[in-house]
Structure 1
Amino acid sequence: MTIDLQEGALDRVIRALARPMRPSSDFDLNPDVVLPEGRRLRPAGVLVPILLRPEGARVILTKRSSAMRHHPGQIACPGGKQDEGDADVVAAALREAHEEIGLDPRNAEVLGQLPAHETVTSFTVTPVVARVRDVFTPVPEAGEVAEVFEVPLDHVLDLGRYRIEARRWRGMRRRYYVAPFGPYYIWGATARFLRQLAEAVADED
């Protein structure tokens, strides 16, 4: 794939990020869930890093360590809660990506944000989409990140790759999106906001 074609795909992402989008949550597919009024949500930011390679544009994801207390072994974007020292959720996403996969914030060009996503764990997560400017070799954070891998941007933006599955959680049947890629089971909040990006890009077609 030529660099021109890759940059064309990236331009579509940038245009999509500039348009209004509907908010999303872990409860989108579960309309029977009644959320309590006045609930307190903690802000968090995750980075959706896009890297241009000769074989095509790729999205960098992580597999969380099986030793993690929360979401062990799950596929996720690098990121985490906003700390007091972070100026905003964008700063939080860049800081966490530096800590988790060794991505220098100076090597990340922020392209835009997706709407904040409410999770079942009481976070409001803002996905920050960024282009990795230069050559990047990931350095997984020991004890937190088991693996760093790449998914073709074409896979992420293909609505046909997403399907709905369900399982019982806290006594209820919960539905969620999945977008498997090879041995990686991308699901839950990560699949939901990646699908939202795919929906936004598809809206211009």
Structure 2
Amino acid sequence: MIRPVFEPETLPVEATGADLPPVSGGRLTPDGLRARFEQRLSWAPEPIVEAPWRDTHVDPRVAAVLVPLVVRDHGLTVLLTQRADHLNDHAGQVSFPGGRQEPFDANATATALREAQEEVGLDPSRVEILGALPDYLTGTGFRVTPVIGLVHPPFTLEADALEVAEVFEVPLAFLMNPAHHEERVFRWENGERRFFAMPYPRTASLESDGGASANSVGGHYFIWGATAAMLRNFYRFLAA
């Protein structure tokens, strides 16, 4: 049976991570992150993930995303995109720049940097790669490697209008605060899907170096699904 379509924003919040320990502020800095990735940490990815890829006859498609941490004077921010509504995969959702690995990509880092340049015009020379998180298997059949990188200004962006509706930034401290990690669940007759959401209020003051910028209209950016799950894993890594 095909899992029914649902509206994630309409589902109630069942829990948050307010009882979890915060990430030390020192780890949310360029030097703190460099030091963290140099360590060999023992930590466990988040147990709540998307429904497993069940087609045993087809291997998941290999992909990578760049988790771009922009070095701002007021602290690190995470550069995110809102995907265009007409796309086949994850239309209209908030995502990291990224996509499928091509045969000519040397590795996941090459895929992530290439896709970020194609989607938002981010020059790879402005990105300092720190490392990667464990692969994330999506319910739509992608095995995604999240590649973490510091983005050093100045840089300019030019969003690909065919893929990206908007580019915006969210403070890393906001996303790494577990109190902002909502757990929601969609139940139907034959099962349920539990997922994370991290709604972020829209403001008129978010920075963007060229290209599309954050909309000043009220409401919020609804960060959920695979993007929120990878951010939750990033929190687990930093809090370990």
- TM score, norm. by length of structure 2: 0.74
1:75 maps to 2:94: yes
| Equivalent residue letter for 2:31 | D
Cα–Cα, structure 1 residues 90 and 170, in superposed 2: closer, same or farther, change >3 Å? farther
Aligned to 1:175: 194
Aligned to 1:22: 44
What are the superposed Cα offsets for residues 13-59 of structure 1, whole Å, 9 maximum, x if unpaired? Answer: 3344343443568x6376xx694656511110100111111222111
| Equivalent residue letter for 1:28 | V
Alignment map for 1:153-172 (pairs within 5 Å): 153-168=172-187, 172=191
Aligned partners of 1:16 and 1:197 also within 8 Å: no
1:195 maps to 2:232: yes
Consecutive unaligned residues in structure 2, runs of 5 or more: 1-24, 202-219
Task: Give the Cα–Cα distance (whole angstroms) in 1 for the partners of residues 189 and 170 of structure 2.
Answer: 31
Find 1:121's aligned residue among 131, 140, 155: 140
Cα–Cα, structure 1 residues 82 and 160, in superposed 2: closer, same or farther, change >3 Å? same
Aligned partners of 1:23 and 1:117 also within 8 Å: no
Task: Give the Cα–Cα distance (whole angstroms) in 1 for the partners of residues 234 and 28 of structure 2.
Answer: 16
Aligned partners of 2:97 and 2:116 also within 8 Å: yes
Aligned partners of 1:166 and 1:175 also within 8 Å: yes
The percent of aligned pairs where both chains have the same amino acid is 39
Residue 9 (structure 1) shift:
2.1
Aligned to 1:10: 30
Aligned to 1:184: 221
Aligned to 1:62: 81
Aligned partners of 2:50 and 2:225 also within 8 Å: no
What are the superposed Cα offsets for residues 73-118 of structure 1, whole Å, 9 maximum, x if unpaired? Answer: 1000000010111111110000000001110111111011000000
Cα–Cα, structure 1 residues 147 and 35, in superposed 2: closer, same or farther, change >3 Å? same
Aligned to 2:211: none
| Equivalent residue letter for 1:68 | L
Aligned partners of 2:66 and 2:112 also within 8 Å: yes
- TM score, norm. by length of structure 1: 0.85
| Equivalent residue letter for 1:46 | V
Find 1:100's aligned residue among 115, 119, 124: 119
Aligned partners of 2:43 and 2:236 also within 8 Å: no
**Aligned residue pair count:** 196
Aligned partners of 1:24 and 1:117 also within 8 Å: no
RMSD after superposition: 2.5
Aligned partners of 2:129 and 2:148 also within 8 Å: yes
